[in-house]
Structure 1
């Protein structure tokens, strides 16, 4: 019997996290091992700048197979292959980004991650993000806090928006980038500085541990932020959309409570959720 057998993996946040961590660590090792080979097989998706490597696909297949071995009735939503559905009665759905930060992966920049979350009855209850370049790892369970290397995370405490270091990202469509550039130009005079690292999952974990104060981005899919969003939320970070809308494809804003409101209002005034 597999060590990941269904009998040994009940549908509790802690048990789901344990499975997610083991699977994500193995997936990260595969991504790292495959890099030299995988970057020789690069294709594009939505635009010529939106790349996918052989490793993205191989890692996703590996994770799906491992999850299926452990919990054969669960569904999996992955970036590369979409929903892998079963005739399941399980209330659990896994949300996977096999390599978040594929452009970084392609160029050898050490910011690319395996992101895996477990959703129970539509609510994310467990998540892990592993930086495959160096094995840094962040975990969270709903109500159980966010952690890195045995240390509980609590985010940062900037005194004002003007003292806030903000991370962001950009879409692949040229029209969207043009609008995002205008938003960035309007925001940069209101904050301490802006950073763009190229992985939404790692950016959210950075906010959780305080190496970024805040983060925002338009165009994120569930696999981009499911695990990292839980890590941030469990670290006391407010994760939202704009104007009372839930975080998602239109906008995600993550910031400590003291500056979330001012950052939200600045982004709303700049029409950050608008454009293409």
Structure 2
């Protein structure tokens, strides 16, 4: 398998998809809802996913594809090579702000992340990693992550998870929010994982994400020494939804042991 060729093509396609998205900013979007009124999808989400599928099918017809908008395959297992695609992660931000969204792409072989690509389209920041070969922002090498403590940490966390109307152990999150230096919420899992990878935040927590939300970011974070698990400290489930804890080394263990270990996540 020529992984260098796959990597090169994937980067080229992501950049081309980003240009397509930027060119849509002056157009009127066709906006629809999915599971609820706040679960949005646009014609661009669908068109970008179909763009990727066309490219992958043409070049790698034996590869599997898992995409958010459902145009790919229905994966029963992770055998072989699987592309996990979120064409626009942060669709609500894309609609309302035309910023704070990203293309997210992860390529896995037998369940192991080989390539991760996150493209911040508006800022033209292409984050990418090839397992064992380092992680990059455009052509600049990203430094390895260093340890930190909770008192000096900024945690990316959606405030709704600390509210009582969710069937989670929200009371366990309140001390974490209290003890951290601060919290942030950006509305896009892909970028929040990248912000951990680049040290802009120190940890990211979410409750219910799909594989295409975290597949690309997980490769990049782990390449830099960060730790990616669910909130039980287990390996992520790439065929179903799962919770997510992404953090710098040391901090990840602290959050699990001191704040999350009693939770039913």
TM-score when normalising by structure 1: 0.84
Residue of structure 2 equivalent to 1:14: 4
Q: Note the residue ranges of structure 2 that are not aligned, 5 or more in a row.
A: none
Residue of structure 2 equivalent to 1:203: 192
Give the whole-Å Cα distance in 1 for the aligned partners of 2:167 and 2:25.
Answer: 31
Give the whole-Å Cα distance in 2 for the aligned partners of 1:42 and 1:70.
Answer: 31
- Are the aligned partners of 2:232 and 2:261 in contact in 1 as well (CA < 8 Å)? no
- Are the aligned partners of 1:52 and 1:102 in contact in 2 as well (CA < 8 Å)? yes
Cα deviation, 1:10-56, whole Å, max 9, x if unaligned, reads x34332221111111111111222234353x1111111111111110
Residue of structure 1 equivalent to 2:121: 132
Q: Which among 243, 250, 254 is matched to residue 258 of structure 1? A: 250
- Are the aligned partners of 1:35 and 1:105 in contact in 2 as well (CA < 8 Å)? no
Give the whole-Å Cα distance in 1 for the aligned partners of 2:35 and 2:159.
Answer: 14
SS at match of 2:32: strand
Residue of structure 2 equivalent to 1:167: 156
Give the whole-Å Cα distance in 2 for the aligned partners of 1:14 and 1:52.
Answer: 33
Q: Which among 56, 72, 86 is matched to residue 83 of structure 1? A: 72
- Are the aligned partners of 1:38 and 1:55 in contact in 2 as well (CA < 8 Å)? no
- Are the aligned partners of 1:28 and 1:114 in contact in 2 as well (CA < 8 Å)? yes
Assess, with a 3 A threshold, how the Cα gap between structure 1 residues 97 and 194 changes in structure 2: closer, same or farther. same
Give the whole-Å Cα distance in 1 for the aligned partners of 2:34 and 2:53.
Answer: 21
Query: Which deviates more from structure 2 when the two are superposed, residues 212-221 or residues 178-187?
Result: 178-187
Instruction: Give the paired residue count.
Output: 258
The 5-angstrom pairing of residues 140-159 of structure 1 reads 140-154=129-143, 156-157=145-146, 159=148
Cα deviation, 1:152-186, whole Å, max 9, x if unaligned, reads 223543531111111134789x9875748655534
Give the whole-Å Cα distance in 2 for the aligned partners of 1:264 and 1:59.
Answer: 37
Q: Determine whether 1:268 maps to 2:257.
A: no
Q: Determine whether 1:63 maps to 2:55.
A: no
Q: Determine whether 1:27 maps to 2:10.
A: no
- Are the aligned partners of 1:158 and 1:259 in contact in 2 as well (CA < 8 Å)? yes
Query: Which deviates more from structure 2 when the two are superposed, residues 191-200 or residues 248-257?
Result: 248-257
Give the whole-Å Cα distance in 2 for the aligned partners of 1:26 and 1:180.
Answer: 42
SS at match of 1:144: coil
Give the whole-Å Cα distance in 2 for the aligned partners of 1:119 and 1:38.
Answer: 35
Cα deviation, 1:226-255, whole Å, max 9, x if unaligned, reads 111100100110111233421243321111
Residue of structure 2 equivalent to 1:227: 216
SS at match of 1:206: helix
CA RMSD of aligned residues (A): 2.6
Residue of structure 2 equivalent to 1:194: 183
Assess, with a 3 A threshold, how the Cα gap between structure 1 residues 13 and 170 changes in structure 2: closer, same or farther. farther
